[in-house]
Structure 1
Amino acid sequence: MSKIEKVTKTTDNRFLNMYDLDVVTKTGHKGLYHVASRAKDVSDLKLNTHVNKPDGVIIYALYGEKREQVVLIRQYRFSIGGYIYEFPAGLVDEGENYHQAGVRELKEETGLTFHPIEVDEMYSRPYFTTIGMTDESCAAVYGAADGVISRNGLEDGEEIEVVLADRTEIRRILKEENVSLMCAYMMMHFLYEDPEKPFGFLHAE
């Protein structure tokens, strides 16, 4: 089995840092592997703690009297130099659970009020996002949203447009726009759900 011989922190940023890993492959070859992480220090990396504590939360919220729309954000991302469709999301603050983080983040990014639902742990436990580059993991929360869209909670660096997308618009977005993978999969679920039974996939046996 491959192993890690040494880990070195190479940056000192607030939200994201880089770590260099001196590694030995299963065939004995030595190499250098780069990992981005929300961890503040080497001891906090998941490769050391082996605890999958979620760094962030992703919010799948339905809107409207008949829950016929999905709350999306269209956000400018420096990594692609353009806009991408995503679910509202954000970091889990110390002392928060997933639902509390979801309520806070949806309010900050959209102005809407989130009403989370309880689901089986296998649907809400944290999963890893882009494991080839980072140890980041996120939990998903599900529920309904209501209220009035507002930009009042946005930070200066956030360039976000709130989109309430029905099935027609979702089909267009999937065909024509940049979409995050996690958001795209959930949108595909929504397209083929029974409109009378929102979040049907969460209750399938």
Structure 2
Amino acid sequence: MEICQIEKITDCKHVNLFSIQYRDRAKNIKNWVFASRSQDPDPLNQEKVGVDAVVVVPFHRQAEKLVIIKEFRVALGGWQYGFPAGLVDKGETIVQAGERELLEETGLAITRVLKKSPAIYSSSGLTDETISLLFVECEGTPSNEFNEMSEDIEVILLSRDAAKGLISKPGLKFDVKSWMVLSMFADYGIIS
């Protein structure tokens, strides 16, 4: 496999499309389009530093429940169950971004970081976006008062039984990472 050429198709603030031409194992020329958070005209030739986004997996210690969100996602044309998440701002650590996103989307505060993943790819068939999963304990009363006007989010606290019931309902939309964590929580009571 060999990358032959890459062309930036769009010039948007948060995500861009790139057309890539490559040679497969049989030496045939193929084309692919992928999304990237990069503003660079050739993101594949750049040393990727840092993580694009953080996904916070919060466990509310006082309530003994996992915190998830139900959020309207434009690309899905409907509601998706997932975890608080967002872009890591320039100069911000993953934990700082996680604290900000958890507060903005749920009104809750991180009390303890349990585990932080390295940079992992969210959907490598479509994008070079990297995320870090941040497993935390949190406290506070859930609130939507900090939501941005462009977000429509409902905060949900789930027991193990409620998580099991939620993931078994047909027709609901889940972020893949969230479904996996909810499944582990429902079956084994663990989040990290």
Same fold (TM over 0.5): yes
1:170 alignment counterpart:
163
**Residue 179 (str. 1) matches residue 178 (str. 2):** no
CA contact (8 A) 1:103 1:115 kept: no
Q: Residues of 2 paired with 1:41 and 1:164: CA distance?
A: 40
> Amino acid of the residue matched to residue 131 of structure 2?
C
CA contact (8 A) 1:21 1:33 kept: yes
Q: Residues of 2 paired with 1:3 and 1:80: CA distance?
A: 33
For structure 1, the 5+ residue unaligned runs are: none
Q: Secondary structure at the match of 1:192?
A: helix
1:58 alignment counterpart:
55
For structure 2, the 5+ residue unaligned runs are: none
Over the aligned positions, Cα root-mean-square deviation in angstroms equals 1.7
2:68 alignment counterpart:
72
**Residue 112 (str. 1) matches residue 108 (str. 2):** yes
CA contact (8 A) 2:17 2:35 kept: yes
Tell me which of 93, 96, 109 is aligned to 2:89: 93
TM-score, normalised via structure 1 length: 0.86
Identity %: 29
Q: Deviations over 1:47-67 (max 9, x none)?
A: 2224363110011111142x5
2:117 alignment counterpart:
124
Q: Residues of 2 paired with 1:143 and 1:106: CA distance?
A: 10
Q: Residues of 1 paired with 2:86 and 2:111: CA distance?
A: 17
2:184 alignment counterpart:
189
Worse-matched range after superposition: 100-109 or 148-157: 148-157
**Residue 15 (str. 1) matches residue 14 (str. 2):** yes
Q: Residues of 1 paired with 2:146 and 2:88: CA distance?
A: 16
More strand by share: 2
CA contact (8 A) 1:54 1:138 kept: yes
Number of residue pairs aligned between Structure 1 and Structure 2: 190
Q: Secondary structure at the match of 2:156?
A: strand
Give 1:42 deviation, angstroms.
2.3
Q: Which runs of 4+ in 1 moved over 6 A?
A: none
Give 1:118 deviation, angstroms.
4.9
Q: Residues of 1 paired with 2:143 and 2:2: CA distance?
A: 49
Q: Residues of 1 paired with 2:98 and 2:119: CA distance?
A: 13
Q: Secondary structure at the match of 2:174?
A: coil
Give 1:165 deviation, angstroms.
1.0
> Amino acid of the residue matched to residue 101 of structure 2?
E
TM-score, normalised via structure 2 length: 0.91
**Residue 81 (str. 1) matches residue 77 (str. 2):** yes
> Aligned pair in 2 of structure 1 residues 98, 116: CA closer, same or farther (>3 Å)?
farther
2:32 alignment counterpart:
33
